[in-house]
Amino acid sequence: MKISIIGTGYVGLVSASCFAKLGHQVICVDIDKEKVDKINKSISPIYEEGLDKLFTTHKDKIKATDDYSYAIKQSDVTFICVGTPSKKDGSIDLSFVKESAKEIGKQLKQKDRWHLVVMKSTVVPGTTNDFVLPLLEEFSLKKAGEGFGLAMNPEFLKEGLAVKDFLEPDRIIIGTYDKKSGYMLKKLYANISCPKIETSLSAAEMIKYASNAFLATKISFINEIGNMCKKLGIDTYDVAEGIGLDKRIGRAFLDSGIGWGGSCFPKDVDALIAWAKENNEKTRIIESTREINEQQPLKLVTILKKYIPKLNGKTIGILGLAFKPNTDDVRESRVIPIIDQLLKEGATIKAYDPKAMENFKKLYPNINYCSSASEALNSDAVLIITKWEEFTELDFKEKIVIDGRKIEEAKKAKIYEGVCW
């Protein structure tokens, strides 16, 4: 099939490369000319495990452009993968979705064949039907379900494991407006073997939010339990093993630490809370999940101050800036509140991350960046923020280490303390 993908960030680019691997021709559309140029030179604009290889292997099947007309004309199905960030009040910002839906609509007007439009960006329930559909109809002068098909196909990939998640998902959710769209999407995913669930458009949207809110809640829950365990001298990871073996609970997402970040959980949790507020519904559990996550990273600074009460003038090494390993994404990384607090108390920061320093420099140009993890270790104390594999090989022996992610090797440090163990 011929596919166009609007927005070539983490989701768009991974989808494009994986669809190409599945044998489809893909045209990527982005308003960012630099990204378009890079893709056409077969350079991946983002770091994601396995993506570079996939991208270069299938480069003949992937083209990029900023021209919607070319992309829609030359394809049968269009995936909308643009960003859906938060507004200041936490509610969803649909401005990128709006622009892309308008442009797609304009191009559909020129097309004499049926075309499928698929919403892949994460959007609050009701958006595809009540916001995207009217825009497509207004600008194409065609009716949904007749002149074009409409579907909502949320993406569940995890950064760091995105390629594997896309190609071997637990399930594919296909929310449809019309039957033909469901049939087309199933055909497109025919070579991926997993349960494929057909739902309404808004159920598909809600499945994505409920999923992320639940996973975030699982982490905040174990962190709350972890804070109690620490008081009792219990290793929370033993508790996680013990409860995780219960099939009703499961072990995944029970790694206690300094909380969740990234481009999805924080904004999706906020958007769901804001949506509920607008619709006069309460979100007590989800709001607590958020609150725990705000406080958890600062526990690392509290523990640090047991050993270095006055941080003013001290140098603190930071191991890891990415919100999790195997990605260069620093959005809402839990290191951000920690660095803010350390700077407020007058500490000097020496930070190191194997992949995320360039992105972090855009947020914090004035802290010190190290060329190796060992250089960051050479500080008055070290905080472990991200569980990068290479940190397991460091020599921590003479150091003061406060660990937010449980790296066993770090326990050999002169002084070692974990956040929940």
Ligand X SMILES: NC(=O)c1ccc[n+]([C@@H]2O[C@H](COP(=O)([O-])OP(=O)(O)OC[C@H]3O[C@@H](n4cnc5c(N)ncnc54)[C@H](O)[C@@H]3O)[C@@H](O)[C@H]2O)c1
Residue ranges in contact with ligand X by CB under 6 A: 6-12, 29-32, 35, 81-84, 96, 99-100, 121-122, 155, 157, 159, 263-264
**Which residue, 299 or 355, is less far from ligand X as judged by CB?**
355
**Which residue, 218 or 350, is less far from ligand X as judged by CB?**
218
Provide the minimum distance between the beta carbon of 301 and ligand X in the complex, in angstroms, as a whole number.
28
Q: Is 40 exposed, middle or buried (0-12, 13-18, 19+ CB in 10 A)?
A: middle
Provide the minimum distance between the beta carbon of 158 and ligand X in the complex, in angstroms, as a whole number.
6
Provide the minimum distance between the beta carbon of 307 and ligand X in the complex, in angstroms, as a whole number.
36
**Which residue, 118 or 264, is less far from ligand X as judged by CB?**
264
Provide the minimum distance between the beta carbon of 194 and ligand X in the complex, in angstroms, as a whole number.
16
Contact 48, 17 (CB under 8 A): no
DSSP string computed for 151-166: EE------TTSHHHHH
What does the block give as tokens for 148?
């074009």
Provide the minimum distance between the beta carbon of 343 and ligand X in the complex, in angstroms, as a whole number.
27
The CA distance from 9 to 31, in Å, is 11
Q: State how far the alpha carbon of 165 is from the alpha carbons of 50, 162, 201, 308, in Å.
A: 12, 5, 22, 42
The CA distance from 381 to 188, in Å, is 52
């990415």: which residue's tokens?
Answer: 322
**Largest alpha-carbon pair distance within the chain?**
72
Task: Show the beta-strand stretches assigned E in 288-399.
Answer: 315-319, 348-352, 368-369, 381-384
**Which residue, 4 or 296, is less far from ligand X as judged by CB?**
4
**Which residue, 169 or 226, is less far from ligand X as judged by CB?**
169
216: nearest Cα among 323, 100, 360, 115: 323
**Which residue, 159 or 353, is less far from ligand X as judged by CB?**
159
264 is catalytic: yes
Classify the C-alpha dihedral 199-203-204-208 as positive or negative. Answer: negative
- Residue 190 makes CB contacts below 8 A (sequence gap 6+) with none
**Which residue, 330 or 384, is less far from ligand X as judged by CB?**
330
- Could you tell me how many residues make up the chain? 421
Provide the minimum distance between the beta carbon of 415 and ligand X in the complex, in angstroms, as a whole number.
36
Instruction: Determine which one of 229, 264, 370, 420 is catalytic.
Output: 264
247-256 — which CB contacts under 8 Å span 24+ positions? Answer: 252/218, 253/215, 253/218, 253/219, 253/222, 254/218, 254/219, 254/222, 255/219, 255/222, 255/405, 255/406, 256/219, 256/222, 256/223, 256/225, 256/226, 256/229, 256/406, 256/419, 256/420, 256/421
Residue nearest to ligand X (CB): 9
Q: Which residues pair with 400 in a beta bridge?
A: 415
Q: How far is CA 372 from the centre of its chain?
A: 26
Provide the minimum distance between the beta carbon of 192 and ligand X in the complex, in angstroms, as a whole number.
16
What does the block give as tokens for 107?
């191009």
Catalytic residues: 264
